[in-house]
Structure 1
Amino acid sequence: MIVTGNDPEEVKKLEAHLSSVFEMKDLGGLKYFLGIEVARSKEGISLSQRKYVVDLLIETGLLACQPADTPMEQNHKLAEYPDQVPTNKERYQRLVGKLIYLSHTRLDIAYAVSVVSQFMHAPSEDHMHAVHRILRYLKTNPGKGIMFSKNNHTDIAGYTDADWAGSITDRRSTSGYFTFVGGNLVTWRSKKQKVVARSSAEAEYRGMAHGVCEMLWLRHLMKDLGFKPKHAMNLYCDNKAAIDIAHNPVQHDRTKHVEVDRHFIKEKLESETINMPHVRTEDQLADILTKAVSGKVFHSSLDKLGMRDIYSPT
């Protein structure tokens, strides 16, 4: 159990009450919780799962493997094929399950894990190779994690992107978003959309709606914590067509199938809850949540997102 608060006396009273009901003791400052390691420094607070990664590599016999530069091969063709060679289903599901838990602090494997988790019901050897590549990538920086630094604001911002018809199996799009509070990355998601999008603008628009929902939830959470919003939230998107649809009150044939999302986003724009500035494709951080990119783009995005390995030698 983690006990936190800004009133030390109230924290002590709560701990005393819990101790009277349950058998427990105070372990001091938070350092390790459910596989997540917490480290504090002058730069800020770092969250990582280094021991969890090392234990996973030992379990799979890949501790001495050849590292991979990225978690997934660019332009991969992972799908379900009639002639695919099956692999051990239980082992595959166990490994993917552990990788899903690891993605709580490792946003760099979020897209790769979302892809391999789509084949849990009938994994093949190619799917298992993809899982092993994720593990070989983790070997490169097992201590990589998220750094939370103290900044002079609590503004909420987000990046949203979608890869139109990226799935070979059913041509559904993959959407993803990153959200920031006070300049620090707090939530992210990479997920295949539930329906087939008929245009890239539609795919981007559906992904945009998910990003807006997440940012609104964070806005309400910050209000509950006593931080009233001072500015409209910026949601960065690299698709001009989707941004134009959001601002245009006129109905078009191409927007009828996203009508609910269109009115939802339009309402938030008119109330000045959100802004939707355009961002260049090369500056779109959410790109790594929707597709497998090159090593150069991948590592450049991770640096901008604030991922650090505090265990690596300087």
Structure 2
Amino acid sequence: MTPPARRDGTPDKKQSNRSGGYRSSVRGYKPGSNRPQQRQQPQKKDEILLSNAKPAKKQNVSADDDWSLGFLNRNDSDGIRLQKVLAQAGVASRRHAEILIDQGRVEVNDRIVTTQGVRVDPKKDVIRVDGVRININEDLEYFVLNKPRGMHSTMSDELGRPCVGDLVSEKTASGQRLFHVGRLDADTEGLLLLTNDGELANRLMHPKYEVTKTYLATVRGEANNKLISELRGGVELEDGPAKADFAQIIDVFQGKSLLRIEIHEGRKHIVRRLFQELGFPVERLVRTKLHTVQLGDQKPGTLRALNSAELTSLYKVVQL
């Protein structure tokens, strides 16, 4: 059927012609010629989001490292495409990873990469997005355990007593080597970090970095402002002075008191000894926070993985 004519008598040019050309609604296009390239729409600022990518333990490259040698000169079959590595690390989808590369926001071994298809070795190359090194080592695990009262902070116990290892037996049986960061005595409950990242664990426990721990302590006696001043001012213990970074009375009831205390020291039973020395023996002690990692409403005996924001915060405080 012949298409209807326009007012000037010419056929409607929106239909394709027999020579295989595209519709002529694009200005300056002649039927039968190749299709012109469409103008690429600008990327919206809020369309690219970095999500859930784990930061690497080490943000710097040593002068002795040879990782930066020749990664741009590898054969096409060597390594994995950079955009795929970024996607696997949770930085962005492959398409958005390509846009990050185009924008010059990705570095490999201290070189900005703007070429698509560059191949990298995830086990050797140092990859950064917006200046933050991305960790793609899937072997590293980070968990928060709410340790119940009466459980020992060991992965196994020769006497058969209940221990942390009993709660993570499935993970250790599957080959994951986890260990606890620091200890909570058997009568103390709450937040305990489990990981197989030895470097992070050692730094979190090192007094140099002064990583704060927050506790809720139920003590015998009615606390007052004098107790708070003494806790913050310092107490002389048998192995040297100790003090709280922060102390606050939450409640006083029936001859007992509930207090929040923050301390960065890691000496054995330090919180209990502080209160004992000041005449307020501890009846219950719960660790609720490690730096910015909080226990929240996590139930006793349960395990959860750290999120990327928590892990970033821990790396930052210990300068990794």
What's the TM-score once normalised by structure 2's chain length?
0.24
More helix by share: 1
Which structure: larger Rg? 2
Higher RCO (CA-CA < 8 Å; seq separation 6+)? 1
More strand by share: 2
What's the TM-score once normalised by structure 1's chain length?
0.24
